[in-house]
Structure 1
Amino acid sequence: MAQNKQLQTLKLFYHPFNAGEDYKGRRFDTILGWSDDELEKTHDYIQWLFPLAEESRAVKNSPVVDVDTIRWFRQSGTVPNMILALKRMLWFYGFEIRWSEDTTEVEVEVEPKIKIEPKEAFTNGTGRKIFHRWLKPHDHNHARITRILRSLRLFGFYAEALAVNQAFQTYAQTYPGVAKAVVNKASRDIWEQVATYALSAWGHNGLKEFDLEDGFTFTQ
């Protein structure tokens, strides 16, 4: 019963026309309006902006979505708010996202909010400034990025997850003049996996239907 109430609270919090509140009485648009420093130092909002199908090990009382809730997110009018949450967090990490549509499909691009070459991300002062929240060997923001990627995949934003992962991978690698990998390999590997693997590979029952929706095929 408590879980059902929590998921209803999540739906009201996320729905663009209901302006619901999270478990601390914070509204969706209030959180997105926080400064970068507030986003950095507060640790119990990312679980509401990007919910997952398992409990948070760091923050109790975080939403845990079930198959019905995932289906609701994929079919309801919450898409604009998920996009707004993604835009805000990418800006926080030094990126911006754009969509371009041709006659056949929508293409998603994620690029630095200030033009900079990948090889300059760590050595250039501008790169250090815009990427300083995450461009480190180890940081709690690496786990946040993993959560964002996983949540995007759960709720049907496959193309966005691929583009976000590619952007982080591009600017986190080792380049000439940089003595060692900027972001540890374990973080980079998990980003790649959660962005590209089938959801059912994560070990959750019932997610295969969403893999099929996203274009994955399976052999018997």
Structure 2
Amino acid sequence: MPPNATGRSGHPPSIIDFYNPHVNGKDAHGRTLEQMLKWNNDKLERCHDYIQILFPLPEGSMFSYNAPIIDKKTMEEFRSSGLLQMTLNHAFDRMMEFYGFEVVAILDSADSTNQAEEDAAAKDRKKQADEGKEKGKTTEVEEHAEDRNGSAASTASVNANPSVASPRDTKSLEKSVAFTGAHGLHVIRGPNFEERSKNWCVQMDHNHLRISRILRSLRVLGLQRQCEAFYEALTHVYNDPKIAIGKSSMMFWRRAAQEPLHIAPDGTECRWLKKWQETEQIQN
């Protein structure tokens, strides 16, 4: 059986089923995505056979024979499915927390003001409805809330974006990251970064290989913004004079984030991905 999205031989896991919450597929060891995302940091650090299914690649893994491999069909399914991208984004958020980062989305000042006004108005309407002061408007309030929730769910499903920061949070976050306009996605150091970074902010560590995998997997499966935000955060960490990460690790991270998509960090070329890129360039 040739390498594909369902694995190398036997009945390995399907990447799509694993990431589809309606299917809740299991990996080769009988574990679901939901279970993995609930693991504590110690287990995520000690276990070495989950990252291959959590962030699959078009290339095989020398560390896991059962590691599923992305094929063209799997990649296109992820890139066209808001549900799969949203679930992949949950995995991304969990690993950012594991490394001591936070994922934030920043609104510009105008959007922040509008959002604050909308939230305040919605809160007042809900309070009045709950107290029975505007019985005739209860239905209208519920319909409005339903419309807003539906719109938010649709946006999350299509764009797979993390929660937008509140206006108050935005002011503090602007001090930590470069402002890039409305809905800018950023990865910043979290409050526990110093503690969480001790096991990977070193010259060389197995987590450096994991990070290369995460960056490349995000790009291939369509979460380009998340990849860019993570790489930017890694660059800041690498340039921190108080932190000593090896040059080779940074080189592989750069390749994973910036090389042509069909070229893996180790220089391996994926033929079907190269052909897909060429087709995309012609069409665009």
Q: TM-score, normalised by structure 2?
A: 0.64
Q: What are the equivalent positions in structure 2 for 1:101-116 lying under 5 Å apart?
A: 106-114=183-191
Residue of structure 1 in register with 2:78 after alignment:
73
Which secondary structure does the structure 1 equivalent of 2:28 belong to? Answer: coil
Which secondary structure does the structure 2 equivalent of 1:149 belong to? Answer: helix
Give the Cα separation in 1 of the matches to 2:195 and 2:210. 19
Which residue of the other structure, out of 253, 260, 282, is the alignment partner of 1:198?
Answer: 260
Structure 1 residues 101 and 15: CA distance shift in structure 2, 3 A: farther
Give the Cα separation in 2 of the matches to 1:210 and 1:2. 22
Structure 1 residues 128 and 8: CA distance shift in structure 2, 3 A: closer
Residue of structure 2 in register with 1:30 after alignment:
35
Greater CA deviation, 93-102 or 183-192?
93-102
How many residues align structurally?
200
Structure 1 residues 70 and 105: CA distance shift in structure 2, 3 A: farther
Higher RCO, 1 vs 2 (CA within 8 Å, ≥6 residues apart) = 2
Give the Cα separation in 2 of the matches to 1:211 and 1:187. 29
Give the Cα separation in 2 of the matches to 1:90 and 1:186. 21
Give the Cα separation in 2 of the matches to 1:138 and 1:49. 22
Q: Is 1:86 matched up with 2:92?
A: yes
Q: TM-score, normalised by structure 1?
A: 0.81
Which secondary structure does the structure 2 equivalent of 1:51 belong to? Answer: coil
Structure 1 residues 196 and 212: CA distance shift in structure 2, 3 A: farther
Structure 1 residues 127 and 25: CA distance shift in structure 2, 3 A: closer
The 8 Å contact of residues 231 and 257 in structure 2, kept in 1 or not, is answered as yes
Q: Is 1:150 matched up with 2:243?
A: no
Where structure 1 has 5 or more consecutive residues not aligned to the other structure, the ranges are: 115-125
Q: What are the equivalent positions in structure 2 for 1:1-220 lying under 5 Å apart?
A: 1=1, 3=3, 5-6=6-7, 9-76=14-81, 77-100=83-106, 106-114=183-191, 128-175=194-241, 178=242, 182-202=244-264, 203-208=269-274, 209=276
Structure 1 residues 45 and 173: CA distance shift in structure 2, 3 A: same
Structure 1 stretches of 4+ with a deviation exceeding 3 A read: 1-8, 100-106, 208-213
The 8 Å contact of residues 106 and 183 in structure 2, kept in 1 or not, is answered as yes
Residue of structure 1 in register with 2:125 after alignment:
none
The 8 Å contact of residues 59 and 270 in structure 2, kept in 1 or not, is answered as no
Give the Cα separation in 1 of the matches to 2:105 and 2:68. 29
Q: CA shift at 1:201, angstroms?
A: 3.7
Q: CA shift at 1:2, angstroms?
A: 7.2
Deviations 1:88-137 (A, max 9, x none): 001000001122356886421000112xxxxxxxxxxx754131131011
Q: Percent identity?
A: 34
Q: CA shift at 1:200, angstroms?
A: 2.7
1:88 alignment partner AA: R
The alignment yields a C-alpha RMSD, in angstroms, of 2.5
